[in-house]
Amino acid sequence: MLVLSVPSGHQNSLDSQVGSFLTNGWVIVLEAATGAASAANNAVAKCVVSRPQQTLSRSITVVGKGYWSGIENRVELRPSAAGSGVRFIREDLGGACVPVSLKNRIAATKRTNLQVGQVAVEMVEHLLSALSALGVDCCEVGLTAAELPGLDGSARAYVDAIDSVGVQSLNGSLIKPLVVQSPFTISDESGSGVVDVHPPTTGGLRVSYFVEYPGSSIWPQHYEAIVTPERYREDIAGARTFLLEEEARKLQGSGVGLTVTTQDLVVFGSDGPLENELRWPNECARHKVLDVIGDLFLSGRPFRGDVIARRSGHRLNAEVVATVLAAEDRPVEASGAS
Asked whether the CA dihedral 242, 248, 254, 258 is positive or negative, the reply is positive
Measure the CA–CA gap between 278 and 171, rounded to whole angstroms: 42
- Distance, in Å, from the CA atom of 126 to the CA atom of 286, rounded to the nearest integer, reads 13
Task: Report the alpha-carbon distance of residue 91 to residue 75 in Å, rounded.
Answer: 10
Res 131: pLDDT: 98
Extract long-range pairs of 248-257: CB within 8 Å, 24+ residues apart: 256/68, 256/69, 257/67, 257/68, 257/70
The secondary structure of the chain in percent helix, strand, coil, rounded to multiples of 5, reads: 30, 30, 40
Outline where 187-313 has alpha helix (H). 229-235, 245-253, 283-295
- How confident is the chain (338 residues) per 10-residue block, as mean pLDDT? 35 34 30 42 54 96 94 97 96 98 95 97 98 98 97 97 97 90 94 94 95 93 97 98 86 78 88 94 98 97 97 95 91 46
Q: How far apart are CA 311 and CA 16, in angstroms?
A: 15
Strands of 242-244's sheet in order across? 242-244, 266-269, 272-273
Q: pLDDT value at position 43?
A: 46
d(CA 282, CA 148): 25
pLDDT at 250: 84
Look up the CATH number of domain 51-175: 3.30.230.20
Q: Is the Cβ–Cβ distance between 135 and 161 less than 8 Å? A: no
pLDDT recorded at residue 42? 53
Report the CATH fold assignment for 2-50+177-328. Answer: lpxc deacetylase, domain 1 (3.30.1700)
Query: Rounded to two decimals, what is the model's pTM?
Result: 0.84
* Residue range(s) in the chain whose domain bears CATH number 3.30.230.20: 51-175
Contact (Cβ atoms closer than 8 angstroms) between residue 237 and residue 290:
yes
